[in-house]
């Protein structure tokens, strides 16, 4: 059974939050707020927070700047993962992946099914690794962000989580680049 190994020291990670929206501002970014609160509440650091418009080039440029920053370990995007014409976050970030983490989107939709039923098929949540940085694209609703964090990311971004977690892999993410 998965658990937290209290004998291991907690290692905080630096997480950048990117809200993808043509309509949100810092004053009404509820999804970004939900993520930032949870990141800090778990003992991690919000390394940066920004809002970009629903545009492949703008999203990709922002995420690329964070994956090039050695002070950022994880990038979380929120918004733009649906199926409408303006939903382009997966197209923007998946092109950057050196390795996809298909289990993230699969698990997110599995867990989401219990809450929203078949509507979960409209989510194209995705995860991957680029330049030694984890990238997770989450839906834009605050409840979806809370679900992704509370049910998946808080555990995988805690180095004490057993039997394994993503944090303990961080030192090895750039092995192919040496």
CA proximity to 33, closest of 136, 142, 149: 142
CA–CA distances in Å: residue 143 to residues 23, 25, 93, 109, 138: 18, 18, 22, 13, 11
Task: Report the predicted TM-score, pTM, of the whole model to 2 decimal places.
Answer: 0.96
Reply yes or no on whether the pLDDT at 12 is more than 80: yes
Cα separation, 154 vs 146, whole angstroms = 10
Cα separation, 125 vs 138, whole angstroms = 5
- Which pLDDT score, from 0 to 100, does residue 1 have? 64
User: Residue 112 in 3-state DSSP?
Assistant: helix
Residues 100-112 pLDDT 10s: 999 999 999 999 9
- Which pLDDT score, from 0 to 100, does residue 52 have? 97
Tell me the CB-side half-sphere exposure of residue 175, using CA atoms within 13 A.
6
Q: Mention every residue, 6+ apart, whose C-beta is less than 8 A from residue 92.
A: 56, 57, 59, 60, 63, 80
- Which pLDDT score, from 0 to 100, does residue 166 have? 97
Contact assessment for residue 12 and residue 159, using Cβ atoms and an 8 Å cutoff: no
Q: What residue ranges define each of the domains in the chain, with the CATH number in brackets?
A: 11-172 (3.40.980.10)
Residues 60-113 pLDDT 10s: 999 999 999 999 999 999 999 999 999 999 999 999 999 999 999 999 999 999
Cα separation, 13 vs 45, whole angstroms = 6
């Amino acid at each position: 059974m998965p658990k937290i190994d209290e004998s291991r020291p907690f290692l905080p990670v630096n997480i950048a939050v990117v809200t993808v929206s043509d309509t949100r501002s810092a004053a009404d970014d509820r999804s970004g707020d939900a993520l930032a609160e949870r990141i800090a509440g778990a003992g991690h650091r919000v390394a940066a927070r920004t809002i970009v418009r629903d545009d492949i080039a703008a999203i990709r440029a922002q995420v690329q700047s964070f994956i090039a920053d050695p002070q950022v370990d994880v990038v979380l995007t929120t918004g733009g993962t649906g199926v409408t014409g303006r939903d382009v976050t997966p197209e923007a970030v998946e092109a950057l992946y050196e390795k996809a983490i298909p289990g993230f989107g699969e698990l997110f939709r599995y867990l989401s099914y219990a809450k929203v039923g078949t509507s979960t098929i409209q989510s194209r949540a995705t995860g991957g690794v680029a330049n030694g940085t984890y990238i997770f694209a989450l839906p834009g609703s605050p409840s979806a962000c809370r679900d992704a964090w509370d049910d998946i990311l808080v555990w995988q971004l805690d180095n004490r989580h057993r039997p394994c977690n993503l944090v303990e892999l961080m030192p090895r993410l750039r092995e192919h680049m040496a």
